[in-house]
Structure 1
Amino acid sequence: MTATALPAGAFQLRKPSALPGFGLTLGFTLTYLSLIVLIPLGVLIWRASGLGFEGIWHVASSPRVLAALQTSFVISFAAAALNAGFGLIVAWVLTRYSFPGRAVLDAIVDLPFALPTAVAGIALAALYAPNGWVGAWLDPLGIKVAYTPLGIFVALVFIGLPFVVRTVQPVLADLDREIEEASATLGANRRQTILRVILPPLLPSVLTGFALAFARAVGEYGSVIFIAGNMPFRSEIAPLLIVVQLEEFNYAGATAIATIMLAISFVALLAINLLQSFSRRRFGHV
């Protein structure tokens, strides 16, 4: 059977495939996403809309809410950026080199996935407290980690690293090493090979890992509250402020803060995805 040619400029919904079931799988996908994602988010926005635009703006412009949002998003962005760089290095070491204990090190990367967030927060707080193993060395230098914004940063780096490593690893494994040898043969030095040959095809996966780490960090709660100190206007995160509003039975205020976080996160992730799409078109994908 031959495919029927479409007129010039005609829109084709789907490409011909040897495997049937497009309609069934598309219906299942839309239903599943609606039940799991769209309907809960729709209810959240609907509950917040009860305040009206002025009510939501009043909540958003509150000094305490602004401080909490700034703490959450700025530190989450910084932690995700650090993980993007060091996660790439960790993925490179685990993929390109063979050494004793590599399998153990590779398994350790996944520990933040499996470790309960509360346990991670308690462990980090005990480690970086002024009398902790690491904090005892940092305290004489005037560096305080636990119960400060720096502690939030440490916790978010801890929980976000696996997202970058596991996203970049498969792309690195599929990257043909012959192109590196060809680059060296053509006279490129190591710096030129890294910047012009290796990094461009890795950029889309690094951006994906960055987006995942950023999204996880923005909504992180359990590992942060134990090490942050939770002081308003200094180390209070937005998810904690939502919990405080719920404990005070201010459901409208809690949903308003959650809706504001949702809107900011959506805009940020949309910008990252657009940058990722541009990098795929510009550099290609392997």
Structure 2
Amino acid sequence: MTAAAPIRAKRVLPGFTLSLGTTLLYLTVVILIPVLALVLKGADIGPQRFWVIVTSARALAAFQVTLTAALIATVFNAFYGLLMAWVLVRYEFPGRRLLDALMDIPFALPTAVAGLSLTALFSANGWFGQLLAPLGLVPVYTIWGVAIAMAFTSIPFVVRTVQPVLEDLDPAYEQAARTLGASDWTIFSRVVFPQILPAFLAGVTISFARSLGEFGAIVFIAGNLPFKTEIASLLTFIRLEEYDYQGAAAIALVLLMFAVILLVISNRLQAWAARYRGQA
């Protein structure tokens, strides 16, 4: 008997060459060329001039504000994003689909609109600000306002990264732990959380990277006070308005290096998550 001819799997996208070429063209025009232009512009500055720019007092203050606020926002997103993903996956209640859809609002809402809305809410006479004002906790024009804007725009990354992993978990492990007398906290901390940890860390890393690059939502609520609430991306914009292209390129290049480092970390964590799920 003659062996049957092997069945070839059908490709989802017809024309591999055309699909790959279109993808690479888009990647080159939209991402690689602008990034390469920034790197070349930064290389023209020279190492000595570059170091002087990025270590100036105002630049260091902007980096400090950016990193501190991004860290505060990321810590908040880590807890709140995990809690929200857990609620959306594990509970059924009226309005759950609406709440799930609302998690994507920061993706769809223009960041400038988000900044204006947050400023109106947290100002001294705003809905939230008037409650915080007697306590001396008005976030507008402080680093806390910057952190709030960063958290708002980056929270979906944690929720949408953890949520599908929670949905795919095998409930047999939890049921087995419960039959052995484990408490709810023990089941979560020793059974569930280790399985979602890689995805959780990846989402937190992406959220931190998104916070570092935020601009539109921050400029209104921050007040843009040098050495107090001025972020690095805003300082880059100010240098461009002053026609200081070398200064703008140097600061932007530092932000690019942060983004590349976080991108590598995120990809490693996602690969770890894929291997972990494959072994589970």
TM-score (norm 1): 0.87
Which residue of the partner structure matches residue 62 of structure 2? 68
After TM superposition, what 4+ stretches of structure 1 lie above 3 angstroms from structure 2? 17-32, 271-286
Say whether 1:42 aligns with 2:36.
yes
Match of 1:242 in 2: 236
Q: How does 1:193-272 map to 2 (within 5 A)?
A: 193-272=187-266
Separation in 2, partners of 1:172, 1:285: 16
**Do 2:199 and 2:273's aligned partners in 1 also have CA atoms closer than 8 Å?**
no
Deviation readout 1:107-141 (Å, 9 max, x if unpaired): 22111111111111111111111111111111111
The superposition leaves residues 187-219 of structure 1 with CA deviations (integer Å, 9 ceiling, x where unpaired) of 322222111210112112212221221222111
In structure 2, do the counterparts of structure 1 residues 122 and 40 end up closer, same or farther at CA, with 3 Å as the change threshold?
Answer: same
Tell me by how many angstroms 1:284 deviates.
5.7
Q: Which runs of 5+ in 1 are unaligned?
A: 3-16
For structure 2, which runs of at least 5 residues remain unmatched after alignment?
none
Deviation of 1:48 (Å):
1.4
* Structure-2 separation of matches of 1:196 and 1:25: 44
CA–CA separation in structure 2 for the residues paired with 1:278 and 1:77: 23
Please name the residue that 1:178 is paired with: 172
**2:202 and 2:269 in contact (8 A); partners too:** no
For residues 103 and 285 of structure 1, do their structure 2 counterparts lie closer, same or farther at Cα, with a shift above 3 Å needed? farther
Q: RMSD value over aligned CA atoms? A: 2.3
Aligned residue-pair number: 272
Aligned equivalent of 1:144: 138
Contact 1:204 1:285 in 2 (8 A): no
Give the Cα–Cα distance (whole angstroms) in 2 for the partners of residues 208 and 151 of structure 1: 25
Q: Which amino acid aligns with 1:32?
A: Y
Q: Percent identity?
A: 47
- The question of whether the paired residues in 2 share the 8 Å contact of 1:201 and 1:284 is answered with no
Give the distance between the partners of 1:67 and 1:188, measured in 2 at CA.
Answer: 49
Letter in 1 for 2:143: P
Per-residue CA distance 1:125-172 (angstroms, 9 max, x = gap): 111111111111111111120110000011111111111111211111
TM-score by length of 2: 0.88
Assess, with a 3 A threshold, how the Cα gap between structure 1 residues 167 and 272 changes in structure 2: closer, same or farther.
closer
